[in-house]
Amino acid sequence: MTLHIVVTAKQVVDPETPTSAFLIENNKVTTSTSFAPVINGYDEQAVEAALRIKEALGDVVITVLSCGSSFALDVIKKPLAMGADNLILLQDNAFDNLIDPTLVIRALTSAIQKIGDVDLVISGRQASDWDNALVPMGIAELLDWPVATIARKIDVIGNTVKVERVLPDGYEIVETTLPAVITVSNELGSPRYPNMRGIMGARKIQPTIWEINDLGIEYQSTEIAMELISLEKPIKSIETELIQGEDEADAGRKLALRLREERII
């Protein structure tokens, strides 16, 4: 029996983008078009986790599912170049610049139900843009599936999935039956680089595109759970205190005393 894995992946702003490239207006953030987006790093590790399961079991289909208002195809196709089989894009202006994850959770859940034969959902532990870490939990809640978080290793044995979960002082092993939702972290290890054959193959695969109406969701009826009050760039300030003395030795002594007062030394 074929195991069907859905991997959720998000296109995000490159974390290396400088602060000067961000523009905030009406509590919405945009970036200069000269900086290309990337796949969320944790989601690349989710793809890697699915590929390792496929290598271990053989009879596995991996579908990558992404939600957004617009996509850079050469970016969002990276999971295909890594070795995933299918790509479904939930593309609609309703998903533009969302801070509240409610609509995205509903859309991804509806898409998983529409696909219909999904056994396992693997997600990155969180996205690097807002760091909410809410979407996988919400999907598991709506699907009423068990969820295991922050996995460093996933093994599927028959109808059981065994997960090594990362803890602050080690790890624990948990088991549950399929279907299930698993989130992975960087402890899984580095995701593989696409080879030339994978890149060429990905170019030939056209993603399936679903709009919000294709999912049976009414955007206006979605209850928003989170409201963004304000959004600002962080303000950096540097304060300098000049320590003076009668001579260099006196200035050094006063500096040492000042550092001790601040518990720096």
Please tell me the predicted confidence (pLDDT) of residue 221: 62
Work out the percent of the chain whose per-residue pLDDT is above 90.
66
Co-location of 144 and 199 in the same domain: yes
Cα 192 to Cα 49, 86, 199, 228: the distances in Å are: 10, 18, 13, 36
Q: How many residues does the chain have?
A: 265
Please tell me the predicted confidence (pLDDT) of residue 187: 93
Please tell me the predicted confidence (pLDDT) of residue 222: 67
Nearest to residue 81, comparing CAs of 115, 118, 41, 48?
Answer: 48
Residue 139 belongs to some domain of the structure: yes
Q: How far apart are CA 58 and CA 163, in angstroms?
A: 19
Residue 80 belongs to some domain of the structure: yes
Mean pLDDT along residues 47-55? 97
| Predicted confidence (pLDDT) at residue 220 exceeds the cutoff of 70 | no
Lowest mean per-residue pLDDT among 63-67, 85-89, 129-133, 195-199: 129-133
pLDDT tens by residue, 34-50? 788 999 999 999 999 99
Tokens of 258: 């000042």
Co-location of 84 and 133 in the same domain: yes
Q: How far apart are CA 123 and CA 43, in angstroms?
A: 6
Residue 28 belongs to some domain of the structure: yes
Residue 150 belongs to some domain of the structure: yes
Residue 228 belongs to some domain of the structure: no
Residue 226 belongs to some domain of the structure: no
Q: How far apart are CA 218 and CA 208, in angstroms?
A: 21
How does the average pLDDT of the chain come out, rounded?
A: 91
Q: How far apart are CA 8 and CA 177, in angstroms?
A: 20
Cβ–Cβ under 8 Å, residues 63 and 85 = yes
Please tell me the predicted confidence (pLDDT) of residue 146: 97
Cβ–Cβ under 8 Å, residues 14 and 128 = no
How many distinct structural domains can be found in the chain? 2
Find how far residue 151's CA is from the centre of its chain: 14
pLDDT tens by residue, 146-172? 999 999 999 999 999 999 999 999 999
Co-location of 42 and 84 in the same domain: yes
For 96-134, give the DSSP string.
Answer: TT--S-HHHHHHHHHHHHHH----EEEEES--TTT----
Mean pLDDT along residues 184-210? 94
Nearest to residue 89, comparing CAs of 34, 149, 39, 146?
Answer: 39
Co-location of 263 and 166 in the same domain: no
Residue 230 belongs to some domain of the structure: no
User: What DSSP designation does 15 have?
Assistant: T
Q: How far apart are CA 122 and CA 46, in angstroms?
A: 6
Mean pLDDT along residues 189-198? 94
More confident residue, 112 or 240: 112
pLDDT tens by residue, 1-31? 899 999 999 999 888 888 878 888 877 787 8
Co-location of 102 and 133 in the same domain: yes
Q: How far apart are CA 83 and CA 197, in angstroms?
A: 10
Co-location of 239 and 180 in the same domain: no
Domain CATH for 89 = 3.40.50.620
Co-location of 134 and 67 in the same domain: yes
Co-location of 76 and 174 in the same domain: yes
Co-location of 249 and 214 in the same domain: no
Could you list the residue range(s) of the whole structural domain that residue 155 is in? 3-221
Confidence tier at 225 by pLDDT (50, 70, 90): confident
Co-location of 183 and 251 in the same domain: no
Co-location of 247 and 216 in the same domain: no
Lowest mean per-residue pLDDT among 27-41, 80-94, 96-110: 27-41
Mean pLDDT along residues 245-252? 88
Residue 118 belongs to some domain of the structure: yes
Mean pLDDT along residues 56-78? 95
Co-location of 27 and 157 in the same domain: yes
